[in-house]
Structures are given as C-alpha cells and as structure tokens.
Amino acid sequence: MRVLQRCIAWTGAWLLACSGAMAQVTVADVKYEANATVQGTTLHLNGAGVRYKAVFKVYTAGLYLEKKASSQQEIAALKGPKRMRITMLREIDSAELGKLFSRGMEDNMDKAAFSKLVPGVLRMSQIFSEHKKLLPGEQFMIDWVPGTGTVITVKGQPQGEPFKEPEFFDALLGIWLGNQPADWKLKDALLGKAG
C-alpha cells in the first residue's frame, strides 16, 4: 500500500511539474500561453511555429483549439471557438499580406467554393490594406466564434463586422493547413507534429 501511495504521489508531482513546464511555448522569442479564452471557452495551444520566406522569419503563428487535433479535417469538425494568433517578426506591407492570404485561400480550395467567399476575401484584403504596415511584435488574431462568425482583430482592435460563414474561417486556416500550405514546417508545428 505504501509503495502505491508513493507511486501516486510521485506521479502527481511529475504531472504538476510537466504542466508547469507547459505553461507557455516560446517560438522565435514570442511567447504563446498554453491556454487562451474565446467567448468564455478555454482553448489549448495545439501548436505554434514560424513562417519562413526563403531564409527570413516573417511571423510566428499559434493555433488554439478546444481539444487536440492533428489534421485540418479534425479542426473543421470541432464546433467550438478556435483561434489563430499571428505575431510579426519583420515589417510587412499589410496590403501585400492581405493579397498573400487571398492567394493562399484560393490555392487550397476548389474554384466554386472560393467564388462563394470572394466578397469576404475582398473585405479581408481591405482590412489589411487599411493598416498600411505591420511591424515586428505587432499581432493579429483570427477567431471563430460560434453564432457570431470569424472575427479578425488587428493590434488589439476587432475589425468591422464578423464574417458569418463557417467556411470562411476554414478557408483561412487552409492558408496554413491546406494541401498547399504557406510553409510545410509551420503546418506541422501548428498540428503539433513538429520534431
């Protein structure tokens, strides 16, 4: 009995130590907390990584979900809130970023599905165009909020009306998690598969 008690106490201490160590993840000097709250729901960091363009670090990204998921299909099947948080590592022209996101959505969807989202894609591009530049350390978030839609927050400020269609959030995630992701290593990192 005493051995069992020691084993249970050791296991509890080990789990506590591990959970403390997992309180946050740091990627390219950007901290991602283990949890985030969206619409009163606690989400857990599914994975985080760096977006590279050639040899340059462009931004970090972290994906928060209600429960662990290892594919875009699993994530799309989750009905609760979701969050993608992006922190810039370099100065970038926001209008150019908006165009890259539009292209990334189009590259990962069939033409008919993409054509239905064109009004939302144009509005998203306009949101980024209005900000001119994103500087190192500045961030934006893309939240899926059930019953509300996709909310884009830039530098801490929600941008306009939510995008109502659930397909819009899934299409945005396709930029990073689709069959032609912006960065394969980042895709693996967001899906918790990074080595």
Q: What is the DSSP string of 24-55?
A: EEEETTEEEESEEEETTEEEEEEEEEEEEETT
Q: Per the domain annotation, does 99 fall within a domain?
A: yes
Share of the chain above pLDDT 90, in %: 74
The two structure tokens encoding residue 3: 């051995």
Q: Residue 4 has what pLDDT?
A: 39
- Structural domain count of the chain: 1
Q: Is residue 123 part of a domain?
A: yes
Give pLDDT tens digits for 154-177: 999 999 899 998 899 999 999 999
pLDDT greater than 90 at residue 9: no
Choice between 10 and 50, residue whose per-residue pLDDT is larger: 50
> Domain range spanning residue 104?
23-190
CATH classification at residue 164 = 3.50.70.10
* Residue 11 located in a structural domain: no
CA–CA distance, 99 with 35 (Å, rounded to integer): 30
Give domain status of residue 2, yes or no: no
Per-residue pLDDT at 58 exceeds 90 = yes
Q: What is the C-alpha to C-alpha distance for residues 65 and 68, in angstroms, rounded to an integer?
A: 7
* DSSP H or E stretch at residue 185: helix 184-190
Average pLDDT of the residues of the chain = 87
Domain membership flag for residue 4: no
Q: What integer is the mean pLDDT of 88-98?
A: 91
Sign of the C-alpha dihedral computed for residues 49, 78, 161 and 157 taken in this order: negative
**How confident is the model at residue 131, as a pLDDT?**
85
